Amino acid sequence: MNKRQIYVAMLFSSLLSAMIAIGGYQLLNNQNDEFSSFEDRQNVRFSNFLDTTSVVVPEGLNFVYAAKAATPGVVHIRSKYTSTPTASNNQFDQYFQDFFGNRGQRAPSGASGSGVIIADNGYIVTNNHVVENASEVEVLMNDNRTFDAKVVGTDPTTDLALLKIDGKNLPFVKFGSSEHINVGEWVLAIGNPFEFRSTVTAGIVSATGRNINILRDPSNRNLQIESFIQTDAAVNPGNSGGALVNLRGELVGINTAIATHTGSYSGYSFAVPTTLVKKVMDDLKEFGVVQRALLGVNIVDVNAALAEARGLNVLKGISIENVNPNSGAADAGLEKGDVIIAVDGKGVDNVAKLQEKIAVKRPGDKVEVTYIRGGKESTVKVTLKSTSDSIEVVEARSSFSIEGSNFTDVSREEMQNLKIDGGAKATEVNDGKWKEAGVRAGFIITNIDKTTIRNIQDLARVMANKRGGTLIEGVYPDGTEAFYGIGW
C-alpha cells in the first residue's frame, strides 16, 4: 500500500468516526424527552457504571445490617404518674437533665424513654430513672403494638430496671461483649429521642470505664457502680434506656446519660456496658434484688502525685486506702497501701474498671487479685462477700419482722401520694421497742440515722448492725411526718 492509499484510508476512517459520533449524539439527544420517569432515565443512563442495585460499603462501616437487626427490638416506654413526682436528689436532674428535663420542678402526667427487649417472651431492660416511681408503664413496639409492663425490679446503683410484658416470639437484641469493645470502634445508638421513634445515630467509642459521678446509692454506702462506655453517637432526651449496638447489631450498652449544659446532646453520651446489664438483669429476674458482691475496701486511682507521695514505682492501678474488718479482702490478707493492678488476670487501671470486674460477681464467688506491695507483685484469692459480710445470696423479702413488729415494702401508689422514694411500712406493731417508742401501724420508715430506707431489704441490712440509740424518720399514710428515738 502506497502513501496515497494510506492517506485515503485515514481520511475515510476519520469521516466514518465523525458520522458515528454525530449520529450517536443525535440519537441520545432525541431520547431526552422519551422516558416515562426520572428514575427510569437514570437507570438507563448509568446502566454501564454499576452492575448491582446496592453500593458496596467498606467492610466494618456498613451500618445498615446493624440497624435492621437491632431496631425491631428497641421499644418506646411511656411512664405515667398519678401525682407530681417527688423532687429528686438524683444528680441526673442536676447535670444531665434525667433525659426528661427537671422532673422535680414540673408536674408531668407522664414521661418517656426507651427500652431493649432481651428475651422473646417479653423481658425488657431500661434505665431505672425511666420508670422510677411510675404508677403505670406502657411499652410501644416498633410495629406499633402496645403492652402494659410490670416492673420486675430496679437497681439505682447501676441505673437499670427490668420490665416484663406479656408477649411471645418477640424480636430481641442479642447481647454482645462490651469487654472486647475498642476505643475508636463504630457503634449505633437506637432509641426514641424527642418522641421520634426508632431513631438511629452513629458514632465511635470515645472511652471505656468512664466514671462521671452521677449515680447514687440510696443506702448511702457508696455502692453505685459507674463504668460507662463513652461515645460521640448523638443521644438526646428519650434515648435513655435505649440500645448501644456494635456493627453486628449486638447490644453492648444501655444509653443512660449525656454530658450537656442545655439538656440536649452536646458531644458525648454514656452507656452502661452489657457486662453489668446481663448480671443485673439475671439477678433481678432470679432474686428480685441485685446480688452485690464486695471486696471490702476503700480505693482511689493511682496518679503521679500519689505515686510520688508514697514512693510507688507504678503510675496506674488502684490504691487500697482502707480494708473493712470481716471483709473478703481482710480475710485474704490485703492491706492498706496495696496497689491492685489486675483481677482474674486482666489488668485494671482505674476504680471504675475494678468496680465493673467485681460487680459482675455474686457473694461467695472467688476472684484472683494481683497487687503490688513494697515493689513486689503478688496474687491472692479473695472470696467476695455481700453488704452484710456474708457469702450467702440475698433473697428478696416480702416482709421483715423485728422486735415484735412486721414491715413490708411501700406500694408505688403510696410513694406517689406521699411523694417519697420508698420506705418500709409497719403493718403490725406488737409489744416491743417499736411500740414503746410510740410507733403505730401504718408508719413508713424513710430514714434511719440519715441512711435512706427504700424497702425492707434496706431496713433489714441497716438494722442488722445497729447498736445504741437510733433516730427513726418517716411518715404516716395521712402525710404526718414523725421522728422516733429507739435504743438497741
Cα(105)–Cα(102) distance, integer angstroms: 6
Count other C-beta atoms under 10 Å from residue 168's C-beta. 7
Q: Residue holding cell 485494671?
A: 348
**Is 159 part of the annotated catalytic residue set?**
yes
Quote the strand ranges of 51-117, DSSP E. 74-80, 110-117
Residue at 296: amino acid letter: G
Phi, psi at 112, each rounded to 5°: -140, 160
Residue at 126: amino acid letter: T
Looking at residue 120, its amino acid is D
Q: Are 190 and 199 in contact (CB under 8 A)?
A: yes
Residue of 79, 219, 240, 405 marked catalytic: 240
Nearest CA to 70 out of 254, 244, 281, 195 is that of: 244
- Determine the residue type at 119: A
Q: Which entry of 98, 155, 159, 338 is annotated as an active-site residue? A: 159
- From the candidates 129, 338, 386, 409, which is the catalytic residue? 129
**Phi, psi of 445, deg, nearest 5:** -75, 125
Q: What span, in angstroms and rounded, lies between the C-alpha atoms of 90 and 96?
A: 10
Residues 475 and 330: their CA atoms lie apart, in Å, by 40
DSSP class per residue in 212-270: -S----TTSS------EEEE-S---TT-TT-EEE-TTS-EEEEEEEEE-SSSS--SEEE
- Among this protein's residues, is 129 annotated catalytic? yes
Active-site residue flag, 114: no
Read off the amino acid at residue 192: N
Give catalytic residue positions.
129, 159, 240
